[in-house]
Chain A
Amino acid sequence: MRHFLRRLIILLLTLWTTVTINFLIPRLMPGNPAEAMLAKFHGKGPMSPQALHSIEVMLGISSEGLLKQYSQYWVNVFHFNFGVSYTYFPYSVRHMIAQTLPWTLVLVGVTTVISFVVGTLLGILSAWRQGKIFSDMAITSLFTFTSSFPYFWFALLCAFFLSYVLNWFPLSGGNAGNMTPSLNFNFLASAAYHSILPALTILVSSIGGWQLGMRNNMLTALSEDYVTLAKARGLSEMRIALTYAARNAILPNMTGFAMSLGFIVGGSVLTELVFGYPGMGNLLYVAVQNEDFPLMQGIFLIIVICVVVANLAADIVNVFIDPRVRRAGE
Chain B
Amino acid sequence: MTLLQVEQLTVAYGSAGKGVKAVRGVSFQLEPGEFLGIVGESGSGKSTLGYAVSNLLRPPGQVVGGRVLFDGKDLLNLPKRALKQLRWAELSIVMQSGMNALNPVLTIKRHFEDTILSHATMPSRDIEARIRELLGMVEIDPAFMHRFPHELSGGMKQRVSIALALALGPKLIIFDEPTTALDVVVQRSIVQNLKALQRQHGFAALFISHDLGTVLEIANRVAVMYAGEFVEVQDAKKLLQQPMHPYTQALLKCFPDPQTERLEITGIPGTPPDLKSPSPGCPFEPRCTQSMPNCRTVKPTFVDLGGTGVACHVAVIGAAGGTAHE
Contact = CB atoms under 8 A, between A and B. Distances in A.
A327 B87 CA distance: 34
Given A229-B93, A234-B84, A248 B56 contact: no
A311 B20 CA distance: 48
Interface string A207-251: 000000000000000011110111111111001000110011000
A223 B58 CA distance: 9
Interface string B42-85: 00000000000010101000000000000000000000000011
Contact of B88 (A223, A234, A236): A234
Interface residues of A, number: 23
A2 interface: no
Interface stretch (B32-40, B101-109, B182-190, B193-201): B101-109
A323 B119 CA distance: 27
Contact of A231 (B56, B89, B102, B151): B56
Contact of A248 (B58, B97, B104): B104
A230 B56 contact: no
B100 A235 contact: no
B150 A234 contact: no
B105 A225 contact: no
B10 interface: no
B150 A235 contact: no
A137 interface: no
Given A225-B95, A247-B105, A321-B105, A234 B118 contact: yes
B5 interface: no
A111 to B, nearest CB: 29
A193 B100 CA distance: 51
Given A224-B100, A236-B118, A229 B150 contact: no
B317 to A, nearest CB: 43
Contact of B103 (A231, A234, A243): A243
Contacts of B97: 225
A322 B115 contact: no
A79 interface: no
A42 interface: no
A324 interface: yes
B28 interface: no
- Report whether over half of chain A's contact residues are helix, strand or loop; otherwise say mixed: helix
Contacts of A239: 114, 118
Interface in A287-302: none
A245 to B, nearest CB: 9
Interface residues of B, number: 29
Contacts of B100: 224-226
A244 B118 contact: no
Given A228-B95, A232-B87, A232-B88, A323 B105 contact: yes
Contacts of A327: 148, 150-151
A131 to B, nearest CB: 8
B118 A233 contact: yes
Contact of A233 (B58, B88, B96, B104): B88
Contact of B102 (A226, A234, A235, A322): A226
B248 interface: no
A323 B95 contact: no
B285 to A, nearest CB: 36
B92 interface: yes
Interface in B95-142: 95-97, 100-106, 114-115, 118-119
B58 A235 contact: no
Given A224-B100, A244-B103, A235 B56 contact: no
B173 to A, nearest CB: 11
A31 B62 CA distance: 70
Contacts of A324: 104, 148, 150
Q: Which of B88, B93, B105 has the most CB of A within 10 A?
A: B105
Nearest to A251: B105
Nearest to A321: B105
A225 B151 CA distance: 18
Nearest to B86: A234
B222 to A, nearest CB: 24
B87 A234 contact: yes
Nearest to B110: A243
A323 B115 contact: no
Contacts of B103: 226, 230, 243-244, 247-248
Contacts of A225: 95-97, 100-101
A319 to B, nearest CB: 12
Interface of B: 54, 56, 58, 84-89, 92-93, 95-97, 100-106, 114-115, 118-119, 148, 150-151, 164
Given A232-B56, A323-B105, A323-B150, 14 more contacts: A223-B58, A225-B100, A229-B95, A232-B88, A233-B92, A234-B85, A235-B115, A236-B84, A239-B114, A239-B118, A247-B103, A248-B105, A324-B150, A327-B151
18 contacts: A226-B104, A228-B95, A229-B101, A232-B56, A232-B88, A232-B92, A232-B93, A233-B118, A234-B84, A234-B87, A234-B89, A239-B118, A243-B114, A244-B103, A247-B103, A321-B105, A323-B148, A327-B150
